[in-house]
Amino acid sequence: MIKSIEQLKKEKDVVILAHYYVDDEVQKVADYVGDSYYLSKIATTVPQKTILFCGVTFMGESAKLLNPNKKVLLPDATADCPMAHMAEISKIEEIKKQYKDVAVVCYINSTAELKQYVDVCVTSSNALKIVKNLPNEYIYFIPDYNLGHYIAEQIPEKKFIFNSGYCPVHQDITADSVKRKIKQYPNAKVLVHPECQSDVILLGDYVGSTSFLIQAAKKEEAEEFIVCTEKGILYELRKNCPNKDFYLAGEKQVCQGMKLVTLEKIRQTLEQEKPEQIVELSEDTIRLAKKPLEKMLELSE
């Protein structure tokens, strides 16, 4: 299977990008694995004509928006992120009318449709820097309430308007379950993704994007870690820190969408390129929705 994927990739001039949350075997066949910011940046520099994105739909859409002339393939077009849909265009328009000096800041975990109406995109690794430097007095942060709230606490000079979106995987990690793990492993450091609720974030020794958490575990002297994010990250954590131990905080840290990507589907996509596996966006959507993504890349420099 891996050999035929390698061969098809070469024949068809395809690069494989994967997020840390996909299954281990999928991460192994990828050319680049990373967090959402790294993957969107790398998508703009790869020379291949086709990008096969092992992740959820909004990731494939973002790669397409940033590279409209490339073909972008998704092994499973139904691999969706529920949070990507948790904001409303009518509400954005209402807020823009109500607040004159407002920037609509949109987490990259959002549909291309939503991105058409926002000012700038952010990921968990650049949100703080970007929002801090925006000139606007008001920030309407969509769709994630938890990330928005985490950023807002660090930028008291701005006035935030929140939205109620959330990631079901991170929302399910409770402070009680983290506390229980801390009791069990008192020497462990706690790694927390900012999509978690604020009472979980408060328990974190390190809070940040998936890449940030992996780097933190590498540098940290401690030998045990409690992990408050999706379980796919364990593959890279254990690869980088073979002598350290990692424990998941809860029971249900599985992103259903990410797990729909399999080696078999990757091979099939490379072979057949079925219409539903090719990311298609209208010219208008590309024109409008790529702007906030390009702005994100510009402001993260």
- Least separation in angstroms between residue 8's CB and ligand 13P is 26
Interface positions, 34-73, toward ligand SF4 (CB under 6 A):
56
Task: Name the token pair of 35.
Answer: 């967090």
Instruction: Tell me if 57 contacts ligand 13P by CB under 6 A.
Output: no
Instruction: Tell me if 163 contacts ligand 13P by CB under 6 A.
Output: no
- Least separation in angstroms between residue 275's CB and ligand 13P is 25
Burial class of 229 by CB neighbour count within 10 A (0 to 12, 13 to 18, 19+)? buried
C-alpha distances in Å from residue 48, one per residue of 7, 26, 42, 58: 14, 19, 12, 21
H or E element at residue 71: strand 71-73
Tell me which residue of 260, 292, 290, 255 sits closest to 277, measured CA to CA.
260
Q: Determine contact, residues 139/102, Cβ cutoff 8 Å.
A: yes
Site string for ligand 13P, 73-102 (x = CB under 6 A): --------x---------------------
- Least separation in angstroms between residue 60's CB and ligand SF4 is 12
Instruction: Tell me if 82 contacts ligand SF4 by CB under 6 A.
Output: yes
How far apart (Å, rounded) are the C-alpha atoms in residues 172 and 230? 11
User: Using CB under 6 A, which of 5, 9, 36, 181 touches ligand 13P?
Assistant: 36
Contact partner, 106, from ligand SF4, ligand 13P, none, Cβ < 5-8 Å per class? none
- Least separation in angstroms between residue 296's CB and ligand SF4 is 17
Q: Based on C-alpha coordinates, what's the Rg of the chain?
A: 19
How far apart (Å, rounded) are the C-alpha atoms in residues 240 and 227? 15
Query: Edge to edge, what strands does the sheet with 32-34 contain?
Result: 32-34, 14-19, 50-54, 71-73
Interface positions, 130-159, toward ligand SF4 (CB under 6 A):
none
Instruction: Tell me if 27 contacts ligand 13P by CB under 6 A.
Output: no
Judged by the rule CB under 6 A, the positions of this chain that interact with ligand SF4 are: 21, 56, 81-83, 109, 167-169, 195, 230, 255, 257-258
Judged by the rule CB under 6 A, the positions of this chain that interact with ligand 13P are: 19, 35-37, 81, 109, 123-125, 167, 193, 195, 209-210
